[in-house]
Amino acid sequence: MDKDVRVRFAPSPTGALHIGGVRTALYNYLFARKTGGTMILRIEDTDQTRYVPGAEEYIQEALAWAGIELNESPWTGGPFAPYRQSERKASYMEYAQKLVNEGNAYYAFDTPEELEAMRERLKAARVANPQYDALSRMQMRNSLTMPEDEVKARITSGEPYVIRIKVPRKEEIRLNDLIRGWVMVHSATLDDKVLMKSDGMPTYHLANVVDDYLMKISHVIRGEEWLPSAPIHVLLYKFLGWEEQMPQFAHLPLILKPDGNGKLSKRDAERHGFPIFPLQWTDPNGGEQVAGFREEGYLPDALVNFLAFLGWSPGSTEELFTMPQLIEAFSLERIGKAGTKFDIDKAKWYNQQYLRMRSDDELTRMLQEQLDKNEVEYAPETARKVALEIKERAVFPQDLWKDGAVYFIRPARYDEAVAAKKWNAEAATIIEQFADAVENSSQALTAEGAKNLLQEVLDKNNVKIGRVMQAVRLALTGLGSGPDLMNMIEIIGNKETAERLRTALHQLQVNG
Ligand code: GLU
């Protein structure tokens, strides 16, 4: 590699981080780690009107949760501090001034009304692309159309102005994107973007380019929605004399709606009932609460694995990759151009795989947390046995509680449909005798032992097991389906088993 890899994730603190932003951060991180490079986070907060309090803390927490570590950031510091653009304000004007002095940018004094009037005029004249550009700029109030002393006078008198880039009229702008290949844009399609705003703050375009240069960024890895801005950035690198240091660009494919029709939005996620933010987000204006993957029970390593595959693939059929394995396998070459559909079932599948891989201790702790939350009393070994018994079926940690509650809490009600069909005199006889046998058993029943005991009772009465199994289940759990009953008896123990059987005999009417 001819220069050190330095990549950045550059979010704007305008609200919660979208899941696509987490993917962008992840790809930057994987690339940095893979190449032994540096992962930087820069807060792009030059648009004060869109600043949302709490967003920055949210970004920090979300990345930490996902295991995306930062080498340089506002929070960790670093050799190129500050890492917040609002704190770097002083440096941008200098570059904007240089662009003006060299004829690559200009002052513009147009009011919003004048800009609107220009657009109306161009529309009326049937100009296809009504914008502030090489054609229209000469009819506007700017330093290209005004005498120099007038411009100076206006500026010294404090009249508001912006600085705009002077996009060349006819030029082919090219950039070699690492994912998309050569991208060619004709300058006539671009407008003279504002670089410095009247509040003295730079816009995204200028601040982004200046900081990428000053922070020695080697690769810009970001979402495809920034591709239209890239030609402006290429022009800025050229105008500022930084072409040699221009980073390489890699624009990531879009994340599409589940049906593949367009970009995934917050509304799509709501409609389909899945989160779009990594963590729960409470809107500071209005207090609206939006679900997060973390709170819904997604495990960070599962979500990371899922996100890594949204646009990238290792080129094999293997799907389970921990963070270190992702780092090992990652390359920009294996990122696709085409958008990828967001498939929440795949995310759930990943979650299930990762949940199963958790250690016994961890699974036990997860279940215990839920038991404590629900104020259920339990013996720690029981919690452990239950967690291990049901882990295969659980997708989320809270499923351990959903499926496990039945081991700790006696049935409060009995499924009526099952009772009507399966609870009869024969079943009641078997269950009664089985309860006696369990009570009389001198040792704690294993699953095997419970099965033998039940079989003895059945044999004595000449009844086939299939005829009463549902009734036994109903008596023990109140439900028509659920976990393996013999294992359950082993876990809850003789006394609890007998008591549940007796309660059912007491509560359920015998039909027919
Ligand atoms: N501030 C931009 C954003 O919010 C960064 C785009 C880029 O990476 O250049 O996504």
CA distance 495 to 388: 22
pLDDT tens profile 379-392: 999 999 999 999 99
Q: pLDDT grade, residue 246 (50/70/90)?
A: very high
Percent of the chain with pLDDT over 90: 97
Q: Which amino acid is at 488?
A: M
Summarised one tens digit per residue, pLDDT across range 445-455 is: 999 999 999 99
The closest residue, in CA terms, to atom 6 on ligand 1 is: 10
Mean pLDDT of the chain: 96
Q: What pLDDT score was predicted for residue 509?
A: 80
Which DSSP string do the residues of 17-76 spell out, in sequence order? PPHHHHHHHHHHHHHHHHHT-EEEE-B----GGG--TTHHHHHHHHHHHHT---SBBTTT
Q: Fold for domain 416-510?
A: Arc Repressor Mutant, subunit A (1.10.10)
| Same fold for the pair 1-76+253-357 and 416-510 | no
Average pLDDT over residues 112-141: 95
The atom of ligand 1 lying closest to the CA of 12 is 4
Residue boundaries of the structural domains of the chain? 1-76+253-357, 89-208, 359-405, 416-510
Pick the CATH number of 1-76+253-357 from 3.20.20.70, 1.10.10.10, 3.40.50.620, 3.40.50.2000: 3.40.50.620
* 3-state secondary structure (DSSP) of residue 271: helix
Looking at residue 154, its amino acid is R
Name the architecture of domain 89-208: Alpha-Beta Complex (3.90)
* DSSP symbol at 203: P
Q: 266, 341, 421, 451: which is the annotated catalytic residue?
A: 266
What pLDDT is recorded for position 285?
Answer: 87
Q: Which residues have CB under 6 Å of ligand 1?
A: 10-12, 44, 204, 208, 222, 226
Residue 3's pLDDT band (cuts 50, 70, 90) = low
**207 C-alpha vs ligand 1 centroid, how far in Å?**
11
Least confident among 69-73, 225-229, 283-287: 283-287
Q: What is the mean pLDDT of residues 198-215?
A: 97
Catalytic residue list contains 266: yes
Ligand 1 centroid to residue 17 C-alpha, Å: 12
Q: Give the Å distance between the CA of 458 and the centre of ligand 1.
A: 70
Give the CA dihedral 17, 18, 19, 20, nearest 10 degrees.
Answer: -110
For ligand 1, atom 3, which residue shows the shortest CA distance? 11
Report the pLDDT value the prediction gives residue 512, as an integer from 0 to 100: 47
